[in-house]
Structure 1
Amino acid sequence: MQLKIIDHPFEWDRFVMQHPDASFTHLFGWRRVIASVYQHKPVYLAAVERGRIVALIPLFRFSRPFYPPEWISIPFFDHAGVLAKNQKAGQFLLEKVWKRLGCKNKARLSIRQDTNFDASGVILQGRHPQIFTEKTGLTIALAPGPRRMMATFPAKLRSQINKGIKNGLTWDIGGPRLLPAFYKVFTRNMRDLGSPVHALSFFKTIFSVFPGQAFICVVYHRGMPAAAGFVFRFKNKLVNPWASSLREFRSLNTNMLLYWQMIRLACCLNLDIFDMGRSSKGAATFRFKQQWGPKQTPLSWYSWAGDRYRAPGETLSISPWQRLPLWCANLAGPLVRKHISL
């Protein structure tokens, strides 16, 4: 086996599409999205045997002011770590990556895994990984068609969904034309949570790079956007990385109707799985998602630090941020969000 830099999508995405454990974030197009919007340097590396990829890892040199660099696979998402045909190929890849990127000094190597590859026993030049396991992925197995899917839910859940409709809520599903409505809800909700928001150009670039694979669902109250979700179609899944709702409308069951419409879309597309994204165990979002009866998949984030690496404190919740005027939070948010890898 040998280490190879992959600079074109065909060979890379062919391996991703054929691998049963691949994530949508393994796709080559995210290289362009993250690099062009946030200027983090991408290095897409693969272990190659007899001319064919046997393992790969998408990495970004994540830079923060006043801190040494960190190589992350990949920032802003839950899991896109090593994708390998077997454990041997994955371990070979990590060992070569560590040496190639010079992580033994001040840098750190971090990978975000869900399944396929266990890095807990990988020792890189005497360094054992630090393992973070506080987050879990949540997925729902879909029934064939919306009616059958609705029938799988408990009576209380069905009642809450129907209550949203009786409260006069409406919805729309589409592509880039719904981005202004989505971003209006998303930015307001992130500010209220104390979280710096992603740049509008981040979502625009996703639509540009992945035409026909991304959708937006918006729930309205009297014509005003009250809740919105961003979903991505990958293989037999519909993945929901971002969803938001405005607090003043939640008593109308906007969240329940939003999630049902996203699940309904997945059923109409004849998909098998609705991926609800990550949640911290015991958090409010985790409890909300538990109502839908999802399967839990533990997420393991591994990191190997160099000799003099000083780890930055990272959080998406910044209390003073909640007090900013919305225009100020929207202006400053992407500048700060760029340096938060979560």
Structure 2
Amino acid sequence: MNIKRIMVCLFAAVFMMLAVAGCGKSVTSGETSVEVKGTSDEPGKKLSIVTTIFPEYDWVMNILGENPAGAEVTMLLDNGVDLHSYQPTAADMIKISACDMFIYVGGESDEWVEDALKEAVNKDMVVVNLLEVLGDKVKAEEVVEGMQGEDEHDHDHDHEDGDDHEHEEGEEHDHEHEEGEEEMDEHVWLSLRNASVICDTLEADLEKIDGGNVDVYKKNLESYKEKLASLDEEYKKAVGEAGKDTVLFGDRFPFRYLVDDYSLNYYAAFVGCSAETEASFETITFLADKVNELSLNCILTIEKNNQKIAKTIADNTAAGNQKILTLDSMQSTTAQDVKDGASYISIMQSNLEVLKEALK
């Protein structure tokens, strides 16, 4: 049993004690106040929607629009800890248990969800699993040429400076697999086309919990999907006009869905869900040689990376002067970022500008 599963079981026990102590009362943990109430049919009850990651949260907020139902929308991963490292708190478990709609990605990082849902007090909860929504659009995680495999380094390593993927002492990596087992790439939100499909499902499920505002939600969905489609066209145009068709990451690579949408090639140090932070000599050499071979002007990283690997790759190229740019995978978007105006569209727009530069 991995650490996440143990922690979820402990939080479930705490939840049951709190539920017995006083259903329908506020339970406060730190700065989090959770209103535990009865069924969604209770008069005057505010709708509660819980999301795990930022893209889900932002999609729901756009479909709600002016939020005529006054729904409370919660983003659990709001403090910079990314999907692969997140462990739910007792307050999170309570929030999920009583909500009307729960949205999560559904990959290996969400193994804790099964246990959390078993403790739900709202048996009418609408549950949205993004991987299930997308079905055969979900891709297997792939190891491309030059990419460092998970077994090439001991996992008992320190994480990069500024990296929020901290683990408890002795914690094992949660993405172990049986030999030959295929891991699905969780980062489905990094495709604008996937986002459009998911938003269709979110709107339909909002209708289930709030049938009184169907017309509003349909109108908001249509407007939002037009924005997604417009940005998708901008990406297609930019890639079509680009001088290059390959990107190279001195980092882990969560952008497979994005590059596949536009038929781009890629090289990277690690797969998207990797916990590795130290690249081998062979990996650095291969990537530096690829930069030389393809005359790449930029090396990419994801957000909150100290760029050490990218800089080392650049230092080992013939020119040694490549720009190091960041594509935002939205795995560490915080509540403060949201408060400051971050949105799924704005981040994907910024990523487009970075991509244009990288493909020059």
TM more than 0.5: no
Structure in which a larger fraction of residues adopt strand? 1
Which structure has the larger Rg? 2
- Under TM normalisation by the shorter chain, which class is it? under 0.3
Greater relative contact order (Cα 8 A, min sep 6): structure 1 or 2? 1
Q: TM-score, normalised by structure 1?
A: 0.26
